[in-house]
Chain A
Amino acid sequence: MFSAWELILQQLVNGLILGSFYALVALGYSMVYGIIKLLNFAHGDIYMTGAFICLSVYGAVSGVLPGWTGIAVSVLAAMAVSGLLGFLAQKFAYRPLLSAPRLSLLITAIGVSLVISNTVMVITKSQPLFFTSGLDNSLGIKFGSITVTYIQIIMLAVSAILMISLTLFINRTMMGKAMRAIALDQDTCALVGINVNKIIGLTFVLGSALAAIAGGMACVYYGNVQYNMGYMIGIKAFTAAVIGGIGSVPGAMLGGILLGLLEALGTQFLGSSWKDVFAFGLLILILILRPNGLLGRSEIERM
């Protein structure tokens, strides 16, 4: 009943959704990397925390505020908790190590990741939690025989709005300018009176809040949350950030969407068990052919 083209189109829609999750998580990765050169391994777990908080809060408020209002409240709560978590991780785990070897920083990030995911594991007793939004997933706009549901449209719209606002924030505000300046040269920034620690903290809060939104949306979209769900999306989002050029904000968005689409096509043609091989193969290929990613600046590495 579906022709091959319609299947591919349907997969592209799925890929676009997946890609916007990747992009939102990748943004946090990329901003943090751009500003303090840290591979924030805990970022995927921040996303998972966002999903977890969203699910818990929705469970509590859905009686009073069902549907989208309740989800919006839950996502806001998730953003607040994840943002705080990102800030605390930055303040207590990463900041003392900013001048230490980069490997130590990476290990600390793995430590933070272990702490977050295992805390949630203990709370949930390793069981997956299920989410029922009460939204009707069959409503949507039909294009021929493929359907784009309203849930999908709203998620794409939210992602697009977030990415546009973030771009404006970074390019048009003083805070954004300070972030870009710190990415170039921290010491000089401190000399001209920029509060470097504050801006780094802000970057973590922003990135974590974006990841929390992605987590909340994923929780609505997929309907389940598990303590170890952050690992794979963390790696995928990092892949997306690298494909786009790590440190570059538009690169992270492009990389995320691209990875989502390619993965959907990979699922279509190679089967779902090989889709990750496809994604990582692509990562290695892009790094060999274009080591700085699609939109990254080429730079001379200083250790």
Chain B
Amino acid sequence: MPSGAGRPVSETGLTPEEAHEVLQLLGTKPSGATDWRAGTVSAATLLAASAAAPRIVSMCRELDELLGGGVAVGQVTEFCGVPGVGKTQLGMQLAISVQIPAALAGAQGQAVYVDTEGSFMVERCADIADGAVRHVTAMADKQAAAGRPALAEALRSGAVAFDTPSLLRGIYCFRIHDYTEQLALVNMLPRFLQQYPQVRLVVFDSITFHFRQDFSDMAQRTRVVTAMAQQLITAAQNFGVAVVLMNQVTTKVLDNGTSKLVPALGESWGHAASTRVMLHWGAADNQRHAMLFKSPHLPPGDAAYAVTADGIRGLPRGSRAATGR
């Protein structure tokens, strides 16, 4: 007798409930597993897990709030923007701040940085690391002053290593020279993440570059890029890492003759990332802005940020009121 509750219903005239009972009496499990819950996860569990998973902060409060507390792990987040708006800076900042200790609600992980454009500047990254070390030390001192010296002591004794050399050792850089290497790397990513389980962030800076240079067959490009996106989504979920994709922008001519800047790689690429943010220059205040335009659960919004010597930060308090966002 073929298993499954559907057949007996039509062949024997039983109700689905009766059929289910018969199948259970016969010892045929509908799902073939001992626990009917196998293969499913309750939404309550998912909620608890996502609340427990630390976010990766950008060090700009407004931007983090826009993203619901920072870049989420287990998901793909895309940042697009014009050249010079700070995509690489943000990528480097995230690669550093993913290493913030758990005592400060950080992910305390490591980062993979995939550099396809040759823009990863290690000296700049060292500056951002210095800035983060200063920040974390100050936070630890503040905690100590408030009667919680645990972190300050851990930093001093080296139990929690948070200094520039160890931060830089926690960033694995891949320099990718063409799309063949990029596709190969994406194929190998699960294996790498298995070997380095401490990795919590994978940055692609940028995901676009090689696919805009030497692809003439657009249909093939779409197919390859979509498959790549799928692999990245799977890797993000399976290993609980945040995948951050930096995307370029391209000029699109609209029907009425005007043009506007849109993310590169086309419409179908829009499904790759669950969260998409456009980085742009504010027309009114000449500041850098981040605009959330796709998210499964957050409202669209806008936040101004600055690129400082120490990395990504919020605007100074005085100018924030003046910008009137």
- A and B form one complex: no
By a beta-carbon cutoff of 8 Å, the part of chain B in contact with chain A is none
By a beta-carbon cutoff of 8 Å, the part of chain A in contact with chain B is none
